[in-house]
Amino acid sequence: MQPDQYYEPDKYYEDFIAVYSRVSTAQQDIQKQILLAESYIHNNRIDLDKVIWLKDDNVSANKLAIKDRSNLQKLRLLIQQKKVKTVIVYSRDRLARNFYEYVAIVKEFYKYGIKVIFTSTKQPPFSPKLSIESLYGIFAQVEGQNISGRRKDTMKQFPSSIFGYKRIGKRKDVKYIPNPEVVNELKSFFYEVAKTNEADDLFNIIMKYKKILKNKRYEDLLKYLENPFYSAHMKTSYGFEILHHVEPIISLEEHQKIQDVLKKLKDEVFQAITNAKDRGYITPQCIFCKKDMTFKTSKLGESSYYICKRGHEKIRITVEQLNETIQSKLSIIVKHIPVDTIKSFVFSHLSRIEKDYSLEIINLNRKLSSIHSTIVEKYAAKKNIDSLIIESKNIKSKINHLHIELAKISEARNSVNDLVKTIKQNLETEIQNYNLYYLCHLFLEKVEIGPDTFIYHVPFGEFMKVGEPYALHA
């Protein structure tokens, strides 16, 4: 066998095993899952060099989708690349707590002929029938919802911290007493809101106490108003349950008055708050001093604005004007981008990286072949081979990593094709549907504001068909 023919992925990885572990919080111990996997590996005399360890620590399956669990994604990629044939995992709910996500993972196991081992004694063996595994997936989801519900109820009754209170004691003996540093201001805030009848008044009260209560966020203030904890109660499906371990700041009757006010005025005030704090898609700069302009909130119902506070007070633009101008100019920018030129540039760059990785894999395979030959010779001569085994393992890890990177390059190439197709067909018309904040930072390097001037700079001026190389003037 020639050195450059040594590496045969399908045969090389046919007995590789992936161990996947996950816990939802930092308080949970992932080591239990790992120890059970190690026990299985030891009892079945599995070569540790053939084991790939993957763990998602402090990663909740109830909160994060599959795509956001990094090591679960690595496991799926290894399976799709045929780099593993067996998966060891503690239980089904470690893979997913959502029924549809679990079924998607199971289908991948079936497609690539994966053997699945559950180390928990409470788990039935992995079934070759999708209908059976789907049923187990439903159980995992229901249990996940129950755990999530219990955790939420506990947090409502015994929050680790809550503004306006001091937590004293531990576990069953915990008590919450009002924080003397803010209790009077917080109580006044609740009382003033309870007496409010107009949206303007409620907005002004929130603006006032935003500063008094150490410049809290608007969202925080609304949460305080809606939380019955301050009346020493918790809302349940059957009404309000009294919390005997909490000293109330307001009465339940006062809390309910506040809810009536919010029900009547919240939508109008929330929209006003949104308008008041809405910022531009990109922070503009003053055309004279080249510094970022300062964001200023406005009154109820008015658009906020940016102003230069470095001696150029006349340099001013509202958020509404800024965003409307940016939105209109994005179409112009997109129209003049030669997408085929950019595509060619990106493909050329990806090809260079791909070639370098492929050559590196060939060289590593040759080196691995040489090391294995040396191991055989030294083993026959009863010489120490520990260092060679470690080096061999490191090279295998590098080869595996490079193959993962090559797969990512392939995905990137497909993504570029899709992106170019979208740009050619309908990006101009679809700009309205994109998150303009992200589009701005993709297409705009900076925006400069003058007395009667709006200048925007693009980060890829050398690709532009027309206009100045780096700045287009509105």
For residue 300, pLDDT over 60 is answered with no
CA torsion sign for 232, 234, 238, 239 is: positive
The domain boundary residue, chosen from 250, 277, 304: 277
Residue 284 maps to a domain = no
Residue 443 maps to a domain = no
Q: How confident is the model at residue 2 (pLDDT cuts 50, 70, 90)?
A: very low
Do 108 and 11 sit in the same domain of this protein? yes
Question: pTM here?
Answer: 0.40
Lowest-confidence pick of 115-124, 238-247, 332-341:
332-341
Number of domains in the chain: 2
3-class secondary structure, 197:
coil
CA–CA separation, 83 and 9 (whole Å): 7
Do 33 and 149 sit in the same domain of this protein? yes
Burial pattern 432-459, b for ≥16 Cβ within 10 A else e, equals: eeeebeebbeebbebbbbeeeebbbebe
CA–CA separation, 98 and 148 (whole Å): 12
Do 32 and 134 sit in the same domain of this protein? yes
Mean pLDDT calculated for residue range 226-237: 88
Name which of 70, 237, 232, 67 is nearest 164 in CA terms: 232
Do 89 and 125 sit in the same domain of this protein? yes
The DSSP-derived string for 122-164 is TSPPPPS-HHHHHHHHHHHHHHHHHHHHHHHHHHHHS-S--TT
For residue 201, with 0-12 CB atoms within 10 Å meaning exposed, 13-18 middle and 19 or more buried, which class applies? middle
Q: Tokens at residue 457, please?
A: 């700079």
Residue 257 maps to a domain = yes
Do 19 and 152 sit in the same domain of this protein? yes
Most confident of 41-50, 154-163, 221-230, 326-335: 221-230
Residue 32 maps to a domain = yes
Residue 141's contacts (CB-CB under 8 Å, 6 or more residues apart) are 97, 98, 99, 102
Do 62 and 11 sit in the same domain of this protein? yes
The domain boundary residue, chosen from 126, 156, 186: 156
Q: What is the share, in percent, of the chain residues with pLDDT greater than 70?
A: 78
Residues 12, 17, 18: CA angle, nearest 5 degrees:
125
Mean pLDDT calculated for residue range 400-426: 72
What tens digit of pLDDT does each residue of 57-98 get?
A: 877 766 677 777 889 999 999 999 888 999 999 888 888 877
Residue 377 maps to a domain = no
Residue 297 maps to a domain = no
Mean pLDDT calculated for residue range 400-420: 77
Burial pattern 39-77, b for ≥16 Cβ within 10 A else e, equals: ebbeeeebeeebbbebbbeebbbeeeebeebebbebbbe
CATH code of 266's domain: 3.90.1750.20
What tens digit of pLDDT does each residue of 58-68 get?
A: 777 666 777 77
Do 75 and 100 sit in the same domain of this protein? yes
CATH code of 146's domain: 3.40.50.1390
Q: Which residue has the higher pLDDT, 62 or 127?
A: 127
Lowest-confidence pick of 109-113, 245-249, 470-474:
470-474
Other CB atoms closer than 10 Å to residue 399's CB: what's the count? 19
CA–CA separation, 372 and 366 (whole Å): 10
**pLDDT value at residue 20:** 94
Residue 116 maps to a domain = yes
Residue tagged 């989708």 (tokens): 65
**pLDDT value at residue 225:** 94
Mean pLDDT calculated for residue range 427-449: 65
For residue 6, pLDDT over 50 is answered with no
CA–CA separation, 77 and 67 (whole Å): 11
Do 65 and 184 sit in the same domain of this protein? no
The domain boundary residue, chosen from 136, 156, 176: 156
Do 149 and 39 sit in the same domain of this protein? yes
Do 76 and 221 sit in the same domain of this protein? no
Residue 25 maps to a domain = yes
- Name the residue range of residue 174's domain: 165-277
Do 41 and 134 sit in the same domain of this protein? yes
For residue 309, pLDDT over 50 is answered with yes
For residue 314, with 0-12 CB atoms within 10 Å meaning exposed, 13-18 middle and 19 or more buried, which class applies? exposed
Please give the span between the terminal C-alpha atoms of the chain, in angstroms, as a whole number: 66
**pLDDT value at residue 275:** 65
Alpha helices, H only, 158-198: 183-194
CA–CA separation, 54 and 428 (whole Å): 42
The DSSP-derived string for 210-263 is HHHTTS--HHHHHHHHH-GGGGTEEEETTEEEE-TTB--SS-HHHHHHHHHHHH
φ, ψ dihedrals at 165, nearest 5°? -130, 155
What residues are paired with 56 via a beta bridge? Answer: 22
3-class secondary structure, 174:
coil
- Residue 464 near residue 337 (C-beta atoms within 8 A): yes
**pLDDT value at residue 1:** 40
Q: Which residue has the higher pLDDT, 12 or 410?
A: 410
Do 200 and 75 sit in the same domain of this protein? no
What tens digit of pLDDT does each residue of 232-273 get?
A: 998 876 678 889 899 999 999 999 999 999 988 877 777 766
**pLDDT value at residue 431:** 52
Q: At what angle do helices 130-157 and 99-111 cross, to 10 degrees?
A: 150
Q: Which residue has the higher pLDDT, 57 or 290?
A: 290
